[in-house]
Amino acid sequence: MLFSLILAAIALFLYKACTNKKVDETAVAPATQTVSDQPASLQLSTGANAEIVNCSIFLNNPSYLDILQKEVKQIFNHTPGCGADTSAANHTEFTDQDTIPSVLKLIKGVPNLSLSWIGDQVSVQAANAADADRVAAEIRNLAKNVTVTTQQASDVNNLNTTDDVDAAITSANTSAEQALSSIKTDNVRALDVATALNLQIINFATASSEIPEVNKTILDQAAGLLKRASHVNLKVVGHTDAQGDAAKNKVLSQERAKSIVDYLVAQGVDPAQLQAVGMGAEKPRADNATEQGRFQNRRIEFEVLNTETGVVRAVDEQGVQEK
């Protein structure tokens, strides 16, 4: 009898041990799922005068983020710094991240260049192919553990023919489509959506608010993401060039912004997630004295709105910043 009791006690002990082990393993599983799954990312672009026109950082590392912000402000004399996403979904470091300050110095003074550093993948685009090749070669010498690719970008400052305009629009819209496609549907972040949408060029016809067909595919992609993410709230801002009557331009810019909102709503997006605002010619991106400048000024921009705090994060020529 005693022997039977001992066996029963041992069996009970082993059962509890196995059960506890299973519980522990189950408890660990969610932790592995919450590990950062978004590579650290730096996106930076320069304009015609080599000034920063867009900069955003996705990094779950406040200390190194502070270093990068200081470097950007000092090297480029860019007071706003970069827009930043520090959520836990981001990785805590880049591959070869200690070389990034040196890479930023390489970019200083290079016009119309875009750098995309995502984890261990680096892409360099420039209107001048020689600039892209040179910067890429120097990055390879500095950062031995990253893969560096180059691509010639369309130069919006040299749109001399209809073909040039079409090529610029195609290149920009392809970039927007690719950026939207890279957003994970189970982790849609407002800043990602706004940044991707701002890559496109929406070239409205003169005095028209009708959305060009080439942009509808991009807006369809965005609508699919927005419907999965009710927490994402975007402000759609219309801008015009300075030609014509200022009051009429403001009305036109409002109508164009509203046409974007109406289209997204028609695709199933909750109207509460979107706001339309028309700025007219009040905030030019470039010189209205040139056709290229006016082309850049006729635009739609997407901003991120935090409905709890009322803070708007703009993703525009001033960089990604709070307003």
User: DSSP string of 133-173?
Assistant: HHHHHHHHHH-TTSEEEEEEPP-TT---SHHHHHHHHHHHH
Instruction: Look at residue 18 and tell me if it is in a domain.
Output: no
Distance between CA atoms of 175 and 125, rounded to whole angstroms? 11
Task: Say yes or no: 277 and 197 in one domain.
Answer: yes
Task: Say yes or no: 116 and 178 in one domain.
Answer: no
Task: Say yes or no: 68 and 170 in one domain.
Answer: no
Instruction: Indicate the range of 83-87, 265-269, 272-276, 300-304 predicted with least confidence.
Output: 83-87
Beta strand pairing call for 52-58 and 41-46 = antiparallel
Instruction: Look at residue 296 and tell me if it is in a domain.
Output: yes
**Number of compact structural domains in the chain:** 2
Task: Say yes or no: 149 and 231 in one domain.
Answer: no
pLDDT of residue 196: 86
Tell whether the model's pLDDT for residue 263 goes beyond 70: yes
pLDDT of residue 253: 96
Give percent of the chain above pLDDT 90.
40
pLDDT band at 151 (very low <50, low <70, confident <90, very high): low
Read off the pLDDT of each residue in 199-223 and give the average, rounded to a whole number. Answer: 93
Answer positive or negative: Cα dihedral of 260, 263, 267, 271: positive
pLDDT of residue 310: 41
pTM of the model: 0.57
Q: In sequence order, what E strands does the chain have?
A: 41-46, 52-58, 83-85, 113-118, 121-126, 147-152, 234-239, 274-278, 299-305, 312-316, 319-322
Helix and strand counts by DSSP (H, E) for the chain: 9, 11
Q: Which of 134, 153, 172 is the last residue of a domain?
A: 153
- Distance from CA of residue 123 to its chain's centroid? 15
Task: Say yes or no: 109 and 211 in one domain.
Answer: no
Distance between CA atoms of 205 and 9, rounded to whole angstroms? 84
Range of the domain at 252: 157-323
Task: Say yes or no: 173 and 132 in one domain.
Answer: no
Q: How many CA atoms lie within 13 A of 196 on its CB side?
A: 25
User: What's the farthest any 2 CA atoms get from each other in the chain?
Assistant: 103
Q: Which of 118, 153, 188 is the last residue of a domain?
A: 153
48 is written with which tokens?
């015609």
Task: Say yes or no: 162 and 285 in one domain.
Answer: yes
Instruction: Look at residue 293 and tell me if it is in a domain.
Output: yes
Task: Say yes or no: 194 and 209 in one domain.
Answer: yes
Instruction: Look at residue 25 and tell me if it is in a domain.
Output: no
Task: Say yes or no: 129 and 195 in one domain.
Answer: no
Task: Say yes or no: 309 and 218 in one domain.
Answer: yes
Residue 75 belongs to a domain with what CATH number? 3.40.1520
Q: Which of 153, 186, 201 is the last residue of a domain?
A: 153
Angle at alpha carbon of residue 54, lines to 103 and 128, rounded to 5°: 60
Task: Say yes or no: 130 and 169 in one domain.
Answer: no
Residue 265 belongs to a domain with what CATH number? 3.30.1330.60
Q: Is 16 left (phi over 0), alpha (psi -120 to 50) or beta?
A: alpha
25 is written with which tokens?
């393993």
pLDDT tens string 270-299: 999 999 999 999 888 778 888 888 888 889
